[in-house]
Amino acid sequence: MTLEYDLFWSFRSPYSYLVTPRLIELERDYDVHCNVRPVYPIAVRLDGFFKQVNPMWPPYLLKDTARIAEMLGLPYAWPFPDPIVMNFKTGDVPKEQPYIRRLTRLGVAAAEAGKGLSFIREMSGVIFGGVRNWNEGDHLKDAAARAGLDLAELDALIEKDPDHYEGVIAANEAAQKQAGHWGVPLMVFADEPFFGQDRVDHLVWRLEKHGLKRRGA
């Protein structure tokens, strides 16, 4: 029997980007399926989030994510433009968020098309992989195509019924909270949360306790 787990994931999270290749390998090598459940970043969900964080946290995050990317051999740079529109001096995050709302809805559409994991890998690889102006030209179109999807078709589906995609995102965020954590990446298996890109080994260990098998075994 194929085991399944939920992945709560954000297009603005560098740690989400960093964990995705390992989850791709996990599904490639083992009889397990990842249910991709995109959520909005906490900075969008929680008003004033960046006005409350410890000022030492952002510089550490930049150092830590660059270190992890180097260790994993992944290209990495902070996105330009940032997927979240915000004032970095004041911490203000406006309600109008053209980049992150489109990306998150696209993630839902890709998941519903059965291509969620490959889509977030390709998209995050463009956003965090050092491509400047990732939102322009054919960068996103080509990333979607590498995942086996047509970007224009996904955008058309979303434009036809945006409330559906917002509803799925809201349901994902509620399920994330119900699972016992607020952050991303968050893997949840059998109601047990595994938070962070450094918890994949713990997830695999738990999956093995439930009979995880290598493909072809």
Q: Which of 13, 16, 118, 124 is catalytic?
A: 13
Sequence-separated (6 or more) residues with CB below 8 Å from residue 190: 206, 210
Report percent pLDDT > 70 for the chain.
100
- 13 catalytic? Reply is yes
End-to-end CA distance of the chain: 13
**pLDDT confidence of 50, banded at 50, 70, 90?**
confident
Position 130 pLDDT exceeds 80: yes
Identify the pLDDT of residue 71.
96
Name which of 147, 146, 144 is nearest 158 in CA terms. Answer: 144
Alpha-carbon distance values, 63 to 4, 18, 20, 94, 124 (Å): 33, 14, 19, 27, 19
Q: Residue 179's pLDDT band (boundaries 50, 70, 90)?
A: very high
* Two structure tokens written together for 75: 């290209």
**Average pLDDT value over all residues in the chain:** 95
Pick among 3.40.630.30, 3.20.10.10, 3.40.50.460, 3.40.30.10: CATH of 3-209: 3.40.30.10
Sequence ranges of the domains in the chain: 3-209
